[in-house]
Amino acid sequence: MSKLINVGMIGYKFMGKAHSNAFRQAPFFFDTPLTPVMKAICGRNEEGVKEAAEKYGWEGYETSWEKLVKRDDIDLVDINTPNSSHAEIAIAAAENGKHILLEKPMAMNLSEAKEMVKAVKKAGVKHMIGFNYRKFPALAFAKKMIEDGKIGRIFHFRAVYLQDWIVDPDFPLVWRMDKKIAGGGAIGDLAAHIIDMALYLAGDISSVSAVTETFIKERPLPEASGGLSESAGKEKGEVTVDDAIISLAKFDNGALGTFEATRFGLGHKNYAVIEINGSEGSMRYNIERMNELEYLSGEDGDEQGFKTILTTDATHPYMAAWWPPGHMLGWEHSHVNQVYHLLDSIAANRSPEPDFFDGLKNQAVMEAMSQSAQDGRWHDVEKVEI
C-alpha cells in the first residue's frame, strides 16, 4: 500500500497550476509508492492564493512561506516562485528537513547555487530541479539510445530555443525582464533548458563564448505585478536583462556546441530544437513535436535518411502508464512524469534526476556565458564540486 507524503507548494500562478495538476494526476496514472497529499499552497496575495487552493485542490493555504516550510505536517516543498527567492526558500526548506522540488533556473547566480547544494547535502533531504523536458518520453529515449552507442562518438550538439512573446515594444515590463528578480533574461528563462539537455545527452561543457542583446531597452510598467500577460501602464521602466543569447561551446569529450535562445523569434511560440551528430548516426528533437524523435543511422548506406520514431508505445520511458500507441502526450504530462519520478526516488532513497547537482552544473555554464557576453572572451566553465 502506498504511503502518504504531505506537500506544500510556494507559488500559485503559471507553474503553480502546472505542478498542482501534476500532483493530482501522478497517483491516477502511475503506481506511486508515495501518495501526495496536497496540504497547503502559499502566495503573498491572500485572495489569489485562496482561490488557487480551492480551484487546484489544496486542503489549505498560507501567505507566509516561512511558516509553510516550518510546518510539521509538510514533508515536501515545491518552489515555483520568481528566481530571486529560490535560494532563500530552498535553504530554509532544507534546514527544516523538507524534500524539495525547485523550478529552474536554480538560482540567481553560481554563488547562490553553491549555498543551496551545501544546505541539501547537510540536511540529507532529496532535491530535484524542474527541468521537466527530460521527462518527455522521446528525450528520455534519446538518452538511452546514446548510452547504447546508437550515434557513436558525439561531434556536435546544436540547440535553439525560440519564443516571440515580447516582440511587441508595448508588452509590459514583467518580472522576467527585471534582473533583480529574474537574474537574467533569455539565458535563464530559455537557454537553461537547452543547456540542461546538452548536459544530459552530450556531457559536461568545458568552455563557452557568448553574445547577448537587449533589443528593446524600455517598456511600459505593468499596471499590476504578475505573470506573462499583464496589461501595460503609461509609465516606462528599463529592461535590465538580455532578450537573446547566442553561444559557442566546447565539451569535455571534444564535441562542439552551439546555443541560441531568444524571446524575439517571431513566429515561434515554444520552438526548442536540438540536433546531435555522432560518428555512427544523428538525432533531432523538436519540443513542438514532442512525441517524435528523428534518428539517422550511419549504417543505412544508400537508404540513409532521418526516420521518425513515434515514442508513444509502452516500451518507451513513462509511456506504459499512459495511453495506447499513437495517443499523444503533451507538455503538462512531463510534469506528471516528473512528480512520479520524484516520489519514486524519495521512496527508494535515491537521488532524483535532475537534482541540485545538475542545477549547479547548469548554473556554472550560464555564469560563464554571462561573463563571456560581458567581456567578449572565452570563459572556462567552473568545475563545481558535487
Q: What is the pLDDT of residues 67-103, one digit of tens each?
A: 999 999 999 999 999 999 999 999 999 999 999 999 9
Q: Where in the chain is the domain with CATH 3.40.50.720?
A: 3-132
229 pLDDT exceeds 60?
A: no
8 pLDDT exceeds 80?
A: yes
What is the CATH number that goes with domain 3-132?
Answer: 3.40.50.720
228 pLDDT exceeds 60?
A: no
Dist CA 124 CA 95 (whole Å): 10
Confidence of residue 139 (pLDDT cuts 50, 70, 90): very high
Segment among 46-60, 91-105, 209-223, 231-245 with least mean pLDDT? 231-245
pLDDT at residue 302 in the model: 79
Residue 165 DSSP SS3: coil
Query: What are the two backbone dihedrals, phi and then psi, of residue 43, each rounded to the nearest 5 degrees?
Result: -160, 160
Going from the C-alpha of 262 to that of each of 188, 259, 276, 340, 367, the distances in angstroms are: 11, 10, 21, 31, 17
327 pLDDT exceeds 70?
A: yes
pLDDT at residue 160 in the model: 98
337 pLDDT exceeds 70?
A: yes
Dist CA 106 CA 92 (whole Å): 15
Strand spans (E) along 214-280? 218-222, 232-238, 244-251, 256-262, 271-278
371 pLDDT exceeds 70?
A: yes
Confidence of residue 231 (pLDDT cuts 50, 70, 90): low
225 pLDDT exceeds 60?
A: no
Contacts of 68 (CB under 8 A, 6+ apart): 8, 10, 40, 42, 62, 74, 77
CB-count burial class (<10 Å; 0-12, 13-18, 19+) for 359: buried
pLDDT at residue 298 in the model: 85
pLDDT at residue 230 in the model: 58
What mean pLDDT comes out for the span 278-292?
97
Angle between helices 356-375 and 192-201 (to 10 degrees): 120
For the chain, what is the mean pLDDT?
A: 96
380 pLDDT exceeds 80?
A: yes
Q: Where in the chain is the domain with CATH 3.30.360.10?
A: 133-329+350-379
pLDDT at residue 224 in the model: 60
241 pLDDT exceeds 60?
A: yes
Helices (H), the chain: 14-29, 46-56, 65-70, 86-95, 110-123, 137-147, 179-182, 186, 192-201, 331-348, 356-375
Contacts of 12 (CB under 8 A, 6+ apart): 20, 41, 42, 43, 48, 49, 52, 53, 56
Helices (H), 167-229: 179-182, 186, 192-201
Dist CA 259 CA 166 (whole Å): 20
pLDDT at residue 49 in the model: 97
Q: Give residue-wise pLDDT tens across range 341-364.
A: 999 999 999 999 999 999 999 999
CATH fit for domain 133-329+350-379, picks 1.10.3720.10, 3.30.360.10, 3.40.50.300, 3.30.450.20: 3.30.360.10
* Residues found in the chain: 386
- Could you tell me the three cell numbers for 366? 550560464
Percent of the chain surpassing pLDDT 90: 94
